[in-house]
Structure 1
Amino acid sequence: MNFVIGIDIGTSGLKSIVVNKKGEVVDSHSISYKTEHPQSGYSEMDPNIWYKATLDSLNHLLSKFDKETISGISFSGQMHGLVVVDEDGKSIRPAILWNDTRTSQEVEDIKQAIGIETLLKHTQNTVLEGFTLPKLMWLKAHEPENYNKIHKFMLPKDYVVYKLTGNIYTEPSDAAGTIMYNIKSEKWSKEILNQLNIDSKICPDVIASHDRSGTLTKDIKEKLNIDWEINVYQGGADNACGALGSGITDETKQLVSIGTSGVALSIENSANYENDGNMHYFSHCVPNQKYVMGVTLSAGYSLEWLKQLIEPSEDFNTFLQDISKSKLGSNGLMYTPYLLGERTPYNDASIRGSFIGLDANTTQLDMKRSVLEGITYSINESIEIMRSKDIDIKEIVSIGGSAKNAEWLQIQADVFNVPITTRTEEQGPAYGAAMLAAMGEQWFNSFNDMNETWINYREHVSPISSHTESYEKLFNIYKLIYTATQPITKGLTQFK
């Protein structure tokens, strides 16, 4: 039997899986790494850490399989990160990651130079600190000696693909997240690049997500101790791959993914759709498809933060095992997950989180549940916007950490007021990457054919009407907190 490998290059670790033609995951390997924070608001990583982790994972997996049975590899990667290389292909400086917020001034400069209307016209998105474009402009302003060395910029997964094949490409789903790419024409935006005096030559060529980037180089095959050809396919952005791996390839289902950040995503293929900037509008890793997406910056990160404060040695299952003992509404406690600012719908890098309603009867369980509820309320703000745009939210596929906890799944069903479904083979974006490799290997004629064979669902959680009514009231209270606390948290920044 033949196999493909899907590799997800995440923020805190790399996950690789081996998948057979039936869509079954037959092996996996994970490696953790740490992000560097050299200054407040900075988030960086040496991109060679991803490359080394990829080699280590491939060495681990390839040694277990017969010669030539693994024929293809593809990738999923964290979005928006900036990797820059010189003419020799060497990394010039550490990658600046998606959750880096140093670029507030550059965001304002871009808005002044181009204008929001022009950005929306040419990229269908506004500009935010996390995106690639302001990172490039920050480099130009603060590290001109490094900027002037740039031969090409890449996204995180693209750098690893380059190291494996020697070829520099990107693909539509990651290109869209740079805010330099026109997702309607599927080309780099000459208008944006010219107005900001960015040489288009530093932009990588764009190929389809399931297109072959090349094969493993001779040097890489020696490092992996193999003597046969393995095709490498370009892959996709993590959210696009997470959607593909969950069967989200048309408008019948939506996605909620909770990892470090949280995402609500729905396919939107209308030819006349024009984004107003409240949501993101990106290219899918499925050809000719687009999606709208809202983001909560500190979703699973909020839970990790609380766990480190209360019980750092516990695993998440143990940490949340008695959560049902705190009743709906967390005993009057509410949490806003603004630890790193907030993306949708506020686009505010300076807002900070809060617990509202603490009293002498508040317990640790109330705090845990309020974090789960607060994350879910935040994602519901994105879903509320989707509904206002006439997107029919029919059924949500939940993946990530929230899909592993029964109480949290019920909270999602009740807050979103829609049935929640989970995947039988829930492997996150790595599974979508494997699907791209399988399509590249021509195992299927279409993505729809592959969905019918590979995508299965196991759990359906329905909303409880009495819970939904209570959560609707609580959600309306939640939406008041941002406006009330924004000037307070802004005032507190002078004391940091």
Structure 2
Amino acid sequence: MVNEAVIGIDLGTSAIKLLAVSREGEVLGVQSEPLPLYQDYPGYSEQDPDEWNAAMQRGLKHLLRQPQMAEVVIKGASFSGQMHGLVLVDEAGRPLRRAILWNDTRTTPQCELIKEKHGDQVLGNPVVEGFTLTKLLWVKENEPEVWGKAAAFMLPKDYLRYCLTGEIFTEFSDAAATMLWNPQAKAWDKELGEEFGIPDIYPDVLQSHDEAGTFNALLAAELGLGTDVPVFAGGADNACGALGSGVINPNDSICSIGTSGVLLICEPVGGAEGYGHKIHLMNHAVPDVNYLMGVTLSAGYSLSWFKREFYADESFEQLLDEAREAGIGAHGLIFTPYLAGERTPHGDASIRGSFIGISGSNTRGDFARAVVEGITYSLYDSLIYLRSVGKNVTKIVSTGGGAKSDFWLQLQADVFNAEIYKLKHEEGPSMGAAMLAAYGLGWYPSLTDCAKQFIHYTTTFKPDLKRHKAYEDYFQIYQQVYNATRRLTKNLLELQKK
């Protein structure tokens, strides 16, 4: 029997993931292709857009050549991708330089310039180094020869889609990550851009489920696809990750622990004009839904770093087993996951991580436990702020690395004092991208109907009030570490520059 399917393509920081999903929501094939990262100077984080394209094309070929894909007919594709990144192209659509990524922190002077004119928030979002406007200003000020050739800017996944279709677009959820897009008006604020010397190099904007072109004929023939296979606009990775987890209705919430960490809650369009405390306001990939989001820059990255340095010859499972045995509070040890600065609630590119409370009796397992707890505390910082402004968060879907361990899922439930839902199949943003293609093709009357077919949950982890109170005592100390160390770590960074 011939299966009809869609392909969801997620451009991450470490890899591109491709997912083939049937009309019924069954995952038919998965392929991942690694990506190099360039960090030439402290605070720099770049990737080559052409390496993205090469990895995507390899991934498509490998996916479609998997034996189980032999009788599958691809009817459409869509994208998810890392947010905030800057791809500048010339008149011929060629990249003018490497892409500057979401976790690049070189643009502190540009942030200060924006704050001088507009304060700490612009268009409902905090002024922080990650956003695209700051990167545009950095290139304008530091690479005038590149700036003079720029004909358009794109977000990362939009460049990949351009490579498939030859058409330049973005869509609401990624546009909202630029600091040039008004998420309430759903329009570019070109007057703001003109104020900072940004010419009219904006991409046209679609809804996430709109068709944005078709596979180019040469690539379609090489892949064995039919003619005119549609490609849909797609969405930002956090929007697609939420969609691919069924988080699409007001008050639906998700905790995602990947390289970065996200605590996200949905709300209707028009429900917020923007909050303080470094909370982001974004358009969802779902029509007429926005979301509020707190971000931990080094969530899973903190655990990956710790494993690489202290558990290099052991598995993540062994690390987490030792963390579990250490017990709540890690025998008086606290870790702050500020390895690359922090977004929420501090918005500080200069802060760095700390272990506080080290004694001669601490074990390696205590350090592992402290890292897991510190990542979770950082996300809890976002959650308690959202609760303080009236968001009733009692149920959270957990995804990413933190969802692969029942120990960590229970820890999230106890720290957050909320029920944590585990997905039956956790495919993340690539599933959200596939759902946008399925909806765009008209397979389902709404994304809600699509989610009912595609998304299923298994275990629910319920909070234990006694453990929650124990974590609260440690969390109160965790919150004090930032102010106690920020000047010290900034001074250390200055010494490294000498």
Q: What's the TM-score, normalizing by structure 2? A: 0.96
Q: Paired residue for 1:28?
A: 30
Q: Is the 8 A contact 1:294 1:382 kept in 2?
A: yes
1:476 aligns with 2:476: yes
Q: Is the 8 A contact 1:68 1:228 kept in 2?
A: no
**Whole-Å Cα distance in 1 between the matches of residues 52 and 416 of structure 2?**
36
- 1:423-438 equivalences under 5 Å are 423-438=423-438
**1:231 counterpart letter in structure 2:** P
**2:119 counterpart letter in structure 1:** I
**2:112 counterpart letter in structure 1:** E
Q: Paired residue for 1:308?
A: 308
How much has 1:226 moved relative to structure 2? Answer: 3.8
How much has 1:225 moved relative to structure 2? Answer: 4.2
Q: Which moved more, 1:152-161 or 1:248-257?
A: 248-257
1:410 aligns with 2:410: yes
Number of aligned residue pairs: 491
Q: Is the 8 A contact 1:248 1:255 kept in 2?
A: yes
Q: Paired residue for 1:63?
A: 65
Q: SS at the partner of 2:281?
A: strand
Q: Pick the aligned partner of 2:78 from 50, 74, 77.
A: 74
Q: Paired residue for 1:169?
A: 169
**1:211 counterpart letter in structure 2:** D
**1:75 counterpart letter in structure 2:** F
**Whole-Å Cα distance in 2 between the matches of residues 299 and 485 of structure 1?**
19
**Whole-Å Cα distance in 1 between the matches of residues 29 and 359 of structure 2?**
48
**Whole-Å Cα distance in 2 between the matches of residues 90 and 208 of structure 1?**
25
Q: SS at the partner of 2:294?
A: strand
**1:132 counterpart letter in structure 2:** T
**2:35 counterpart letter in structure 1:** Y
Q: Which runs of 5+ in 1 are unaligned?
A: none
How much has 1:245 moved relative to structure 2? Answer: 0.6
How much has 1:314 moved relative to structure 2? Answer: 3.1
1:96 aligns with 2:100: yes
**Whole-Å Cα distance in 2 between the matches of residues 257 and 43 of structure 1?**
22
**Whole-Å Cα distance in 2 between the matches of residues 209 and 98 of structure 1?**
20
Q: Is the 8 A contact 2:96 2:146 kept in 1?
A: yes
Q: Pick the aligned partner of 1:116 from 97, 116, 119.
A: 119
Q: SS at the partner of 1:399?
A: strand
Q: SS at the partner of 1:331?
A: coil
- 1:445-456 equivalences under 5 Å are 445-456=445-456
**Whole-Å Cα distance in 2 between the matches of residues 67 and 52 of structure 1?**
25
Q: SS at the partner of 2:57?
A: helix
1:491 aligns with 2:471: no
Q: SS at the partner of 1:312?
A: coil
Q: What's the TM-score, normalizing by structure 1? A: 0.97
**Whole-Å Cα distance in 2 between the matches of residues 63 and 492 of structure 1?**
51
Pair 247,227 (structure 1): closer, same or farther in 2 beyond 3 Å? closer
Pair 225,110 (structure 1): closer, same or farther in 2 beyond 3 Å? same
Q: Paired residue for 2:13?
A: 11
**Deviation digits for residues 166-191 of structure 1 (CA, Å, limit 9, x no counterpart):** 00000000000000001111110022
Q: SS at the partner of 1:332?
A: coil
Q: Pick the aligned partner of 2:110 from 106, 127, 146.
A: 106
**1:340 counterpart letter in structure 2:** A
How much has 1:223 moved relative to structure 2? Answer: 3.6
- 1:213-232 equivalences under 5 Å are 213-232=212-231
Q: Paired residue for 2:397?
A: 397
Pair 68,330 (structure 1): closer, same or farther in 2 beyond 3 Å? closer
Q: Paired residue for 2:250?
A: 251
**Deviation digits for residues 22-67 of structure 1 (CA, Å, limit 9, x no counterpart):** 2111210111122100111100010111111111111112234347
**Whole-Å Cα distance in 2 between the matches of residues 293 and 313 of structure 1?**
35
How much has 1:277 moved relative to structure 2? Answer: 3.4
Q: Which moved more, 1:257-266 or 1:243-252?
A: 243-252
**Whole-Å Cα distance in 2 between the matches of residues 67 and 217 of structure 1?**
22
Q: SS at the partner of 1:214?
A: strand
Q: Paired residue for 1:52?
A: 54
**2:250 counterpart letter in structure 1:** E
Q: Paired residue for 2:296?
A: 296
Q: Which moved more, 1:306-315 or 1:388-397?
A: 306-315
Q: Paired residue for 1:153?
A: 153
Q: Which runs of 5+ in 2 are unaligned?
A: none
**Deviation digits for residues 128-158 of structure 1 (CA, Å, limit 9, x no counterpart):** 1111000000000000110111111001100
**RMSD across aligned C-alpha pairs, in angstroms?**
1.3
How much has 1:473 moved relative to structure 2? Answer: 1.0
**Whole-Å Cα distance in 2 between the matches of residues 354 and 322 of structure 1?**
20
**Whole-Å Cα distance in 2 between the matches of residues 450 and 364 of structure 1?**
45
